[in-house]
């Protein structure tokens, strides 16, 4: 039985399991709703409040310290979710926990997850897999690829898709860039208060790139000073401009087309290459 299943499961195992749910439920339009998916698996959902967290800590001495967790090693599996989370984060967390439940090699474990969109590289393998599974449920391939091919690479496209899929801007941006057929990259830049010592005004907090983009940034990599990035950070403006690649640490003499947006204490930068330059990269 197991060997037959192994033969039919492709190398993209996580995608295979997520796609099976999407197909079984006949999902043809976004947003994908979590209630039918929880019913499909027979998983219960329980909110927990700050008060309940404090009570738990008082009784057990342990802090929950997590926005969502799955208790699956019992007869009635249940996802527990912090009620103060935003709607988009709740959806992502629920899909993530469904991944732990559905992926057979995660079976029998209880998972306490931090469910942050931007730290999957720091998680263990199973956490990365659950994130991938959540993304494939949130942005089903057969719907999301059509949207990617019909929209230009821009912040507005990401905002439009975030609404359409009822997902957070960050989760949408990551998938938009990762799967995009065009050369593009998305960076979250944190202001660096030690700029005078290191020479870098911003540090890369997270980055993701499309397959055809030429460069990848490691976490913590410094970014040089640029008026537009600084202006976006100081005045909270949306900016669409061109920035020399050398500002981002590249030695290539090209300009990136950059879409900048302030988000909390960070600047989001969506980078792409003007088409006339792309053949030289």
Burial string for 248-261 (b: 16+ CB within 10 Å, else e) reads beeeeebbbbbbbb
Site string for Zn ion, 179-208 (x = CB under 5 A): ------------------------------
Q: Should residue 111 be labelled a site residue for Zn ion when binding is judged by CB under 5 A?
A: yes
70 touches Zn ion (CB under 5 A): no
The answer to whether 81 contacts Zn ion (rule: CB under 5 A) is no
Least gap, CB of 119 to Zn ion (angstroms): 11
Count of residues touching Zn ion (by CB under 5 A): 4
Does residue number 130 form part of the binding site for Zn ion (CB under 5 A)? yes
The one segment of 32-40, 111-119, 218-226, 249-257 that binds Zn ion by CB under 5 A: 111-119
DSSP string for 95-113: HHHHHHHHSGGGTT--EEE
| Residue in the shown chain whose Cβ atom is closest to Zn ion | 113
> CB of 77 within 8 A of CB of 101?
yes
- Helix or strand holding residue 14 (H, E): helix 13-24
**In the structure encoding, which two tokens stand for residue 131, read together?**
């994130």
Question: Does 113 help bind Zn ion (rule: CB under 5 A)?
Answer: yes
Q: How far apart are CA 139 and CA 179, in angstroms?
A: 11
Q: CB–CB of 113/130 below 8 Å?
A: yes
Interface stretch with Zn ion, choices 4-12, 79-87, 103-111, 199-207 (CB under 5 A): 103-111
Among 223, 211, 217, residue whose Cα is nearest residue 267: 223
Residue 162 is a binding residue for Zn ion (CB under 5 A): no
Looking at 75-83, 120-128, 163-171, 183-191, which segment touches Zn ion (CB under 5 A)? 120-128
The contact set with Zn ion (CB under 5 A) reads 111, 113, 127, 130
């Amino acid at each position: 039985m197991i060997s037959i299943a192994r033969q039919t499961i492709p190398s993209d195992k996580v995608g295979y399991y997520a796609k099976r749910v999407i197909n079984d439920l006949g999902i043809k339009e976004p947003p994908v709703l979590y209630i039918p998916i929880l019913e499909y698996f027979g998983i219960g959902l329980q909110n927990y409040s700050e008060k309940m967290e404090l009570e738990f800590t008082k009784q057990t001495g342990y802090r929950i310290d997590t926005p969502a967790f799955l208790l699956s090693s019992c007869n009635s599996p249940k996802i527990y979710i912090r009620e103060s989370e935003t709607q988009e984060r709740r959806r992502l967390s629920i899909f993530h926990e469904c991944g732990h439940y559905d992926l057979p090699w995660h079976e029998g474990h209880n998972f306490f997850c931090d469910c942050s969109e931007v730290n999957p590289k720091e998680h263990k393998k199973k956490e990365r897999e659950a994130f991938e599974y959540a993304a494939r449920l949130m942005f089903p391939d057969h719907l999301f690829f059509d949207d990617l091919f019909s929209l230009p690479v821009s912040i507005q496209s990401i905002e439009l898709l975030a609404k359409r899929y009822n997902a957070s801007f960050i989760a949408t941006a990551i998938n938009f860039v990762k799967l995009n057929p065009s050369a593009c990259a998305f960076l979250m830049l944190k202001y660096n208060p030690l700029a005078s010592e290191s020479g870098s005004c911003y540090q890369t907090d997270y980055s993701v790139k499309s397959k055809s983009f030429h460069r990848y940034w490691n976490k913590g990599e410094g970014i040089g000073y640029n008026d537009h990035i600084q202006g976006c950070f100081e005045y909270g403006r949306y900016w669409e401009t061109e920035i020399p690649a050398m500002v981002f640490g590249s030695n290539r003499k090209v300009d990136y087309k950059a879409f900048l947006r302030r988000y909390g204490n960070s600047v989001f930068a969506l980078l792409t290459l003007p088409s006339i330059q792309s053949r030289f990269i």
